Amino acid sequence: MKPTSMNNNIKRNALGRGLSALLEDANTDITASNVIPVNSINEILISQIQGNPFQPRTEFDEIALKELSESIIIHGVIQPITVRKMGYDTYQIISGERRTRASLLAGFTKIPAFVRVANDQEMLEMALIENIQREELNAMEIAFSYKRLLEECSLTQEQLADRVAKNKTTVINYLRLLKLPENIQLALKENKISMGHARAIINVADEAKQQLLFEQMIAYELSVREVETLVRNSNDSVKNEKPIKKSKLQEYLEYQQSLTKKFSSKVAIKADEKGRGTIKILFKSQAELQRILDILG
């Protein structure tokens, strides 16, 4: 049988629908009878399965999806997905949307599924927690999932930490990421900066200073330790209400900024504690190289 397209089979509800909207929807009837028993693993037609409105992942890597589909063609779906019964011949994914998409891509019309009954709040908790445990979620997706668990499931931070098997400090650190400017959140989501970089930036109270620090971090490829040093020295200066002695790192950053402005090209300085190091001037064409050489005289 020719597989139906993902858009027809897995009907995604708009992300952000509240629980109240779902509970008022007649399509979420979980009391209807069905020949397939709950709490059992069965082969279900993918055409009868709807997508998960609580799915924290909004983007699926096409290459990884293709690789998974090729594996499914050879080995089948090794780990059944989990669905909840919505009514007669209707199911909704709790976890396993990626496996379902890959199965469709592989040409499958059925998929093994563990069927259970769950209300919307239970489903939200299960879907978010199950996805949070997966390594491929980035830091921002985890942070947004934590926020949804707090707000839509009315959990306290302590309860949330217990649900996801993390300590409360870890949960708080993720939630703090949501206070960062949008461009920094995007850089973290795209893995242009690490969680350590983001946590260091959060400790800067002023948003303008956060942006400046972020630009320096990207331009000069600063390590987490270097960013933490800059933040610590900046905060110490504010506390003391007087300039503090500049660190070598700060001096080198100023040199880099000055030379970058002079040559109109990115300059990178690397040096050790004894002051020995290198200066790198980047150019993108022979004409740009010649311009730099002319400036050097």
Q: What is the pLDDT of residue 71?
A: 92
233 occurs within a structural domain: no
Residues of the chain with pLDDT under 50: 1-5, 7-34, 237-245
Q: What is the pLDDT of residue 49?
A: 93
Q: What is the pLDDT of residue 66?
A: 93
56 occurs within a structural domain: yes
109 occurs within a structural domain: yes
Number of domains in the chain: 2
Q: Which of 84, 118, 152 is a domain's end point?
A: 118
Residues identified as active-site? 97
266 occurs within a structural domain: yes
260 occurs within a structural domain: yes
147 occurs within a structural domain: no
CA distance to 55, 59, 65, 164, 178, per residue, from 155 (Å): 18, 26, 33, 12, 18
Q: What is the pLDDT of residue 8?
A: 47
Q: What is the pLDDT of residue 58?
A: 63
Host domain of residue 94: 6-118
Q: Which of 86, 118, 150 is a domain's end point?
A: 118
Q: What is the pLDDT of residue 27?
A: 42
Q: What is the pLDDT of residue 177?
A: 95
170 occurs within a structural domain: no
- 10 Å CB burial of residue 72 (0-12, 13-18, 19+) is buried
Domain CATH code at residue 70: 3.90.1530.30
Q: What is the pLDDT of residue 238?
A: 44
Q: What is the pLDDT of residue 33?
A: 43
* Distance in angstroms (rounded) separating the CA atoms of residues 142 and 26: 31
Q: What is the pLDDT of residue 205?
A: 82
**Phi, psi of 15, rounded to the nearest 5 degrees:** -65, 140
Q: Is 267 helix (H, G, I), strand (E, B) or coil?
A: strand
Q: Which of 118, 149, 173 is a domain's end point?
A: 118
234 occurs within a structural domain: no
